[in-house]
Amino acid sequence: RTIEELVNEFGINVLRVAVYTDEAGYAYGTDATREMMENVVRKAAEITYRLGIYLIVDWHMVGAEHEEDKNPLTHLKLAQSFFSKMSKEFADYDHILYEIMNEPNGPTTWNDCKTYANLVIPEIRKNTDAIILVGSTQWSSNLNAVMQSPLEGYDNIMYTYHFYAATHYSTSVLANAYDKGLPVFVSEHGGMDSS
C-alpha cells in the first residue's frame, strides 16, 4: 500500500530495493536472512510490475561494519550466485534493473570494480538483457575513472553516480560524462552532505 501511495501521490516511477551485504545482511546473515531478502525482492518485483514502475535490485555494499565490504570482490561468489538466481527468476520482467555494486570505497580501485563487473555481468546476461547499473569508486562518485577506462563489450550498461549537493557542489563530471556519451544513472541524491 505504501508503494502504491508513493506512485499515486508523489509520482515515483522507480523503487530501489537495497540488499545489504553488511550489517548482518546477505553476506553475514543466516540462510533465513538471505531467503527473507530474496522474498522482499520478489514481492517488490510483483508490486512494481503491477504498478508499472521500475525496480532496481541493489547489491548494497558500503563497508559500514566490515572494512573488507568496501571492495566488491570481497563477496564476488555470493554476488554471482545472487544475481544469477534473481535474473533467472525475473528473466521475463522488463522493468527490473540490476545495480551490481553500491558505493565501492576506501582503497578499492576502478580496476577492482571492472574485474568484479566483468565476472558478475555475464551471470545476469545468461538470463536477461536488462539494464545493469555499475558503481564506481569513492562511493559511486568517481566517473572520471570510468571515463578513462569504461567497460567494454556490453550493451545496456549504465554507470551510477551518487550526488549530494553539500558534498559534490558541481555537476561538471556529469556534463563531461554526457559529452563523452557515457550513460549515467543517478541512483542516490540529496540536498544535504553525503554523510
Active site (catalytic) residues = 103, 188
**C-alpha dihedral sign at 17, 13, 99, 184:** negative
The sheet with strand 132-134 has its strands ordered as: 14-20, 54-60, 96-99, 132-134, 157-164, 184-190
CB atoms within 10 A of CB 182: 17
Cα gap 154→194, rounded to integer Å: 30
Q: Name 82's Cβ contacts closer than 8 Å, sequence gap at least 6.
A: 19, 26, 38, 59
With beta carbons less than 8 A apart as the criterion, state whether 175 and 143 touch: no
Q: Which amino acid is at 69?
A: D
Alpha-helical runs (H) found in 68-109: 76-89
User: Please, what is the Cα angle at 40 between 101 and 26, to 5 degrees?
Assistant: 45
